[in-house]
Structure 1
């Protein structure tokens, strides 16, 4: 059917997500990202752009993207 499907699975990305999670508490939200360099929304946008601009015969099915400080969904090396 010539349909490409791909998933981009980001690790911790510094967005307003944490502020929503902590119901507008900016101080608490900022602490989530202290001590390491999280991904930025622009990083994920660049990756999505790369995925969708590959030649038509190329399908990038699954990408897991994390900061070098993030080892897994629950382990982050904070300094």
Structure 2
């Protein structure tokens, strides 16, 4: 997934953007409507520690889910 942000927003939310990049997203930084830079993850060797770090970064960005939502997903399409 790719997200585009303005320079001022990138400055104000750099830590959050870096967490998103660590989770696998690509961030385009734009001045006005003109893209000027891309933030993307530097891939390391595959390892269990890297996989765990990526999962934790993705979970940090996820919104909480209620039990009702989980049940609705489970029951979706059932008669």
TM class by shorter-chain length? Answer: under 0.3
TM-score, reference length from structure 2: 0.24
Say which structure is richer in strand.
2
**Higher RCO (CA 8 Å, separation ≥ 6 residues):** 1
Which protein is bigger by CA-based radius of gyration? Answer: 2
